[in-house]
Structure formats: C-alpha cells, structure tokens
Structure 1
Amino acid sequence: MYRLLIADDEALEREGLEMMVKHVMKDQFEIYHAENGRRAIQLAEEKRPHIVFMDIKMPGIHGLEAVREILARHPDTRIVMVTAHDFFAYAKEALSLGVKDYILKPAKRDELLDILRKQIDALEEESGKRKEEMEIRLKLNRLLPLAENELSLMLMMDYVQELDLMYMAELLDLEWEKGYAVVISFPYQEQMDWEQFQHARKTMYEELKQYLKLQLPCMVSPMTGNRMAVFIPCPSYGAGYTHRVDSLQWGERLQAFAEGRFGLSACMGIGSVQEGIEGLRQSYQEAAAAAVDSSAVTRIRHFEDMQQLEGTAGISRAEEKRLLDTIQRLSRDEAYLIFSQIFDRLLHQYGENISGCKDELTALFISLARQLTRHSASDLMNRFAGVQDGKALREAVFTQLDRLLDELTEERKRRQFGVMERAKSYIHDHYKLEISMEQTAEAVNLSPYYFSKMFKLHVGETFIDYVTGLRIEEAKQLLEQEELSFKEICYMSGYHDPNYFSRIFKKTTGVTPTEYRKYLQKNVRSI
C-alpha cells in the first residue's frame, strides 16, 4: 500500500480528491491531509508519503516553499502540484524544482487516474532499481574480501595474474599514493596444546582484522601458516622518519591487542614507506625479513632500523632471497640446510661438469657477498679456483658459507657498536642541555622504540640512567670548586631545578650536594 499526502487549504478540495482516489484506486493508498504548507512539511517528515498532492496557493508557507523543503529532506518523494488556471505559471516553476506532474482544478477522474498510475509505475521502477542495486552491492560485499585476499597474496607471493594490481585496488576503493607493510607472526606457544593454539590463532585473526578495519583503511591478508600481512596507506606529506616512528607505535598497539586479548606472543616486522601499489611489494619483502629476525632485543622491528644497524639489502631472485634472509638471521643450521638443497640440485643438474656448477655457486656467493660483506669477485673466484670434484667443491663452498656468516656476525657487532658509540658521543655533547631519548634516537637515525632496546642491551643501563650518571659525575667535579654555588652547579651539570638536582644527587650518591662538599673539604684539610 502506498502513502498519499493531500495538501490544500480548502477542506472540500482535499476531501474531493480523497474520494476520487479511493474510487479509481480502491484500497491502494493510505491518505493524509495537510491544511497548509507547514503541516505538509511536518506530515512529510512523520509519514514519509510516496506521493504528495500539493496546492500551490496556501496561506503561510505556500506550496512552492513546502515543495523545496520536502524535496530537500526526502528527494525520492514524488510531488504532483494542484493548481487553478490562474496559477499555471507557478506550476511550470514547480516542475523546474523536481515536481513530477500537475493537476488542474477541478480535477477530472480520468486525469487523476492517469497521473496516479504514472507515479506508481515510476515508484515500482525505482523500487526495482534499488532492489537490483542492493543485490549487486550484496554480491560485491561478498566478493570484496576475496578481492582483498587476492590482492594481498599477489603482493606477498610476487606472482603475475591477469588482473591488474591497480584495478584490484580500485575495486577495493583503496588509494595507495604511499604505504607500508606490516608482517605479524605468531610463534607456536609451548604452554598451549596444538588444538588450543589453532583455535586461538583463528579467533585472534578474525578479531585482529576487525580491530584493524575499525582503526584505518588498511588491507589485511589471510593467515598463511602462523603469519599475516597488513598493508597500510599513509599520507603523502611528512618525513620518512616520522612515518617510521608512527608505524612502530601502530605495531606496539597491535602487539598489545594480540597479547592482551589472546595471550599470544606476536613478532612484527615493518617495511619502509613506498610509493604506489607496486611499492608495497618491496615494503612487504622488507617487513617479512624484519619479522623473521632472531634478535631478542625487541619483537617489533622496522626494516630501516635493522638496515641502519646491519647494512643489509634486498635481492630479487627467490633462492638468493631465501638464503639471504637466513644468513641475515645468522641461523647457521637453517643456512646449511637451504644451501645443501641448492648445492645438491646444482650438482645433479650439472653432473660431471663441475666447472658449470662452480660458476653458478661463485655467482651466488658474489651476489650474497656484495650485499652482506662487500667482498670482491676476485677473492671468491680465487678460493674456488683449484676445486676439481664435487666433494672438494662442497667443502669449499661450505667453508665460504661459514666465513660469510662469521664475517657478517662481526660486521653486525661493529655496526651496532658504532651506532651506539655515535649515540654516546651525541649524549656527551648535549647532556648539559635539554636532551631526550627521542632526540638522540633521531640523531643516529633509529626509531625511539628500537633505540631504547638497543641502548640498554649495549650500554647496560637505560638512557635516563646513563644521562643521570654523566650529570652527577659532572656535578661532583664542580663541587670541588668552592667558589661555585649549588645553584650554579645545578645549571652547569644540566639541571634546571636545584631541589630536583639535590634529590637526584642524593639518590645516586647516597649524600646531598652539601654533604658531599663537606666530605671533600674534610679530606683536603686532612692531607
């Protein structure tokens, strides 16, 4: 049943129209009356009529004003103007506002029937279109998760499909001017039995995906094994360092959600910000490399932090990348296994042609060495020059693999030590001024999160404790100069509040600055 609103200031006109409507279309309409424009607007809001018969000339808010108001709020309402011949010019104006038709007073039964049928046909056509659009939208909503899975897997697995990446992104209504990837890994928890862990993993994935979708317009991959990937767009403005710090803060929130909600230990790798949908491939590869790092310093790692400390770079060939990732993690046993598979396949492929097999392995080692330790090609070729059989070749290449792992371990230690030494140098230059951990981390191009972990590991104390130690040692030396006041010493050693300086001094040394100076004076006199 349709709803019809008749708006006319003359009650006889309204009643006459209602009688005619009920006669020509029995039991098809619920009919409401409005005696003026204001009442018509109110009933349109309350009853949401499908069709409105609107008289043009009414007291107060006239018909055209009421039409504007009703169509502004309910644009799908079909309005038919009711007018006398004297007001035909108003009817033409009404048509320009979006009125569907008009009736001349006094209305004729056949004309009224014709108008009602046209309006009902139009309503049914619009209803059919809305239903069709709803069905299409429902089907699309069912397909979108599949498209999201497909696009994320295309980026993760680096395989070619008939569907273009940008087409898939447009289908998902995603704009990737810039973005980065996060890889989240959930190692098996020994305290859980396998079925319990699998159930927790499935539930966690569904809730974590929902949590992410509520926070930002990201793309979440399906769970593959014990890991999943998240592709996150970011603004085109802002420095790369800012993006890195922001992404690590996101990583902390995701880790807290996973561990707090499900008690699962999450390990996260974060790739660098890249341009375009294609750039996400590289960001994912970086995130995957960061996620599998065996370092116990932190379970949230940014690729650029690791690159700054380790000097690693990515490669394109699949076998090299797999081996490179393992070597970067300094996983010697796993590197042996992977390399054994490569070696055995090459030896089988080349048979007695040791020279061909040797050339392949030499090229592989040159590629790895250039990216890890920057060895020259001549050094590597000289080491394999005298090899004549498979057994000797195996011994030579595994010796070289050991050497590569050993040199990388030492290089990593040197680089990490160098970064921390630069940080300590920066602190020594600035500890008497306003200095923060965030400033120091940026000075050595590390994120604050990663810097705090690395600093504690290499220095043996927190950033705050280290700075405090320097300032207190400076204060001790200044206290030897009796002409300096405690307030001067406070400022000269990096503090701005004498009371706070005194409390920190006593907490660190066990005595107040006054007691320490008296101790120094007593010792001087006794000499």
Structure 2
Amino acid sequence: MLKILIVDDEILERRALTKIINNSSENVTVIGEAPNGRKAIEMAGEHKPDIIFMDIKMPGIDGVQAVKEIKRTEQNIRFIMVSAFNTFEYAKEVMQQGVKEYILKPSRKQDILESLQRVSSEISGERKQLEEQQYLKQNLERAVSIAQKEWVSSLILNPVHDITFDEWSQLLGVEITSGYIMLLSLLPPSEKGELLPLEKQNWYLWLKDLLKSYHKNQEVLLGPMTESQVPVLFLCKQTTEKTHFKINAQAVTDHLLAQFQKSHFLAELRIGIGLPYSNVHELNKSYHEAVAALNQLLKTPHRKYLFGGKQGAIGLPTTSDLLQVEKKLLDALRQGDLNKAMFIFDSFSANLMDHEGMKASMVKKSFDELFILISRMLHDLGIRYEGSFQIKESKEIKDMFDKGKSYLLSVVQHIQVWRSSHAKGMLHKAKEYIEHHYANSITLEQVADYVELSPYYLSKLFKDRFGMTFIDYLTEIRIKQAKIEMVDASKSLKEICYSVGYKDPNYFSRVFKKHTGLSPTEFRRETVS
C-alpha cells in the first residue's frame, strides 16, 4: 500500500485530489492533507509518505522550498508537482530536485491518475529489485556459511576436486592464490581432567566471532569442531612467499593466543600450523602437517604453537603415499564397501610397518589420527555411532593393528546398516519434499534440514543413488511440470515460469531450452498444434 500526502492551499483542490486517488486503486491511500509548505514538512517527517502531490504556489514556504527541505531528511519520497503556472522556470527548479512529474491546474482526472501510475510503478519496481537483492544476499550468506564448514570438512577427509581457488575468488570477491590450515585444540588445565560440552561449545562460538573480524590479507573459513579440535582454513589474498606466510601466520597465532589469554576460559590453547599450498588439491597435506605439529606440541607443553612440514615439526609419517591410502579408505567407508575398506586398511598398516624407524608410540599416534578422521567423517555424514576407538600402546605392534581392524570392521558394518535403511528412507523423504515444494525458493540446506542429513552428505547421496545432483533433480521436476502446464493455452509462459519456482522468465527460458532443446515458445507451438 502506497501512502499519499496532498499539499495545496486550496481546500477544494485537496478534497478533489483525495477523492480521485482513494477511488482509483486499493494499492494507494491518502494519509493526510496539508494546507501549506510548513505543514507539509512536518507531516512528511511524521507520516513518511511514499508520494506527495505538492502545489507550487502557496503562501509562506512554497512548494519548491518545501521539496528541498523534505529532501534533506527523506530521500525516498517522490513528488508530483501541481501548479496553475505553466512556466519553464518552475519546472526547471523542481527538476533539479529530482522531481519528474509535473501536472497543471485545473487537473484532469486522467492526467492525475497517469502521473500517479508512473510514479507508483517506479516505486514498485525499485522495491521489488531491493527485495530480490536482499533475498539473493541472504541466500548467498547462508550458502557461504554452509559451504565453509562443508568445504573445510571435505578438505580434511580428502583432496577436493569440485572447487578451485579461482571459483572461491569469484565467490568471495577477492583474488585467492593459496591457502593453509591451522588446527586449534582446547585442552583442559593440568588440574582438571575433562572439559564440559558447554565449555567446548562456548569456545567454538568465541572462536567463530573472533575470526570473523580477522581479515588481514586472508579470508578465514572455520571448520566443524570434533572432540576439542577445530580446523581453520586461511585463504591468502596475495602470492604467499614463505616469509610472508610465516609473518601472516605468526600474526594470526599471536592474535589468537593474546585474545584467548584475556578470555574467561579455564583451559589451554594449542595451535598446529600446516604449510601453504597454491593448489587447492594439496590443502589436505596442510591439514596433515597441522595434525603432526599439534601432536608434537603435546610432547612439549611449554610451547603454544608449532609449524608443520619439512621446516617445522618432525612428527608422524605424512607422506603422499599414506595420504592416498587414507583418502581411499575414507571413500570406501562412505560407500560401505567392507572388502575394499579391509583391504585398504591392511595396506595402511603395511605402509606404517614399512616406515623406517617406526615405533609403537608412532603407530598409536598414526592410528589415533586416522580414527579422528573417521570420527569427523561420521559426524559430517550425520551418522551417529556410539563406539569409540581406544587403544593402549603395546610393544606388539600387531596387537594394535588387530584392535584397529576390529574397530574399523564395526564402523563399516554400522555404515552398511545406516545406508540400507536410514539413508534410503531419507532420500525418498527428500524426493517427496522436493516434489511438493519445487514451486518455492527451495535450497539444499532446507531439504537437508528436513530429512536430518548434512547438506554435504545429502548432495553426495543424490549423486551416488540417482546419478544427478540435487539441483539437477529439482530442475528436472520443474521442467517436467512446466511441460504439463504449457498444454493449457490460457496460461502465459510468464505465469508458468513463476508457478514452477523460477523468478526470472529469461533464466527459465534458458534452462528450459538447455533441457529440452526448444525454447518455451517453440515447445508450446509444437505441443499445442
């Protein structure tokens, strides 16, 4: 509803305008009348109308002066000037204030309504554009927030192949050239045995707020918390030489430790730092370097942070061969492939055994790291598993392998049961939700929340089970429904576009042609005829 204010020193003119406008449409209403410029300024500030019909020639403050004064505080109000004087000077003066509409007295009803319609359409168009921009911004912010967690999680589990630094540069609006991972761990103080879940959650929220405001040549992406550890991905905005990386990472670390020192947490913070990589597929190495550095820190309690990699910590074996074995093992677990998982685990064990100088303590730490990755994977997939891997260091390394294999077997069997029952049912539920809500602005996040799966895993399940992505399936449903509706010649293509969930007819046309080979017009012509 657009609010209109009438300003004129002649009461009959005001009453006539009010009657014409109020009878013209349900979308506009006159919220007040002002007999002079001074009163108009007061009422504009109080009622904030959308449109003001302003008489130019009035005693005291005239219409032009009133427009200037109102414009100082109310930039969005539109004016339609009304005057008995058809002179260029008047028109020129109000046009300088951004006024586009000018009608003469005595005004014809048609002139009044046409002028009102033009201004109303302009306001409606701008409001719609603003709403669409806000909607897109909210969706983007939500998508980015989800993508951050999911992307960091996938980096930890395996090298990422579906997004590049160039694509992240486009999404974030800055040039990203490299990245590295820090692994932060919250430890209980020496006199306290264990941290409470609430303490961990409060620390995670504190960390999220702290890193959100930190943008010194880097974009910060926070991963999910597993146990008391949080991976943080730093995307560097400029070419990162090792000296620059050390300086930037040191600055971040100092900032985190200084702020943590000022906080109220009764705990200790340790930070392992991986090296930077210019290829997104290598960031998985940075994570393993951060893990090795963090493990090394636990043996040196006087240190708060440590750099990983060749120039930093010398910890567990993190060669490319072991990384590839871990990746293949996690992939097999996701698929619930028992034979493949057991075979790969044997290869993993053999790799550890073949590593020169391998000690029982190093085997235990390597297993601990592997099963932390498995725990993260289960968490990210939305799979609840009550069992936990606990192994004591043994002189007989084979005993540790056997216990690890037994634990892995129980995990795979649990995943198999979950995939065959829960996941299948959730996918059916997800498909039904899409089929009932395709006409709305539906998102992967909404569907995942509805079926109680993580967006990351729902997307992977769709691809694995149906051979298409969530977006592909949603598009298929929408195009199928659009074809059905096109048989009804009484429906316009624009109407059909909106009814199947698209907001832009041009975009709908492009998507339709991509999937059918015909434009909507061509398809309707062939179908109807």
Larger Rg: 1
Could you tell me the TM-score, scaled by structure 2's length?
0.50
Higher helix share: 1
